[in-house]
Amino acid sequence: MDQMIREAIFREVQKEPFALTLGMELVELEAGFSAVEMTYHPAAMNNLFGRAHGGAIFSLIDEAFETVCQTAGQVTVALNVSLNYVASPESGARLRAEAREVSSTRRTASYDIRVSDGDGQLIAVCQALAYRTGKPLPFL
């Protein structure tokens, strides 16, 4: 992938307010692949049952989806996301979402996204579909 695009995506994630709020970190990025990590903090991320809120896990998935989509070098937006929660992480677990492009056309792309904890336990699986607008990334 173009090094200028890669550096720009890393730079934007480092200052993205939502990613900063949840402590998300983009750790790997290449054409068609992204890995984003965050630590699960129960005090800030629990649901009313005392387990990880689905929205926190979905946010990690969405950040990986957002970043992998932009590796094509154009503004790409979500069309559909289908998510299955498999397990709840343990307190303090370092969670990692890995997004991989499965297929793409000029206008759409499909992604497989998986979240696991530091021990490799699967937390969630996701299939996502994106639309490529054809517009250049505004932060280049």
Residue-wise pLDDT for 2-19, tens only, equals: 999 999 999 999 999 999
pLDDT of residue 119: 97
List pLDDT tens digits, range 94-114: 999 999 999 999 999 999 999
**For 138, phi and psi rounded to 5 degrees?**
-70, -15
Mark out the alpha helices in the chain (DSSP H runs): 3-15, 17-22, 42-45, 54-69
- Record the tokens describing residue 72, joined without a space: 């094509």
Predicted TM-score (pTM) of the model is 0.97
pLDDT of residue 62: 98
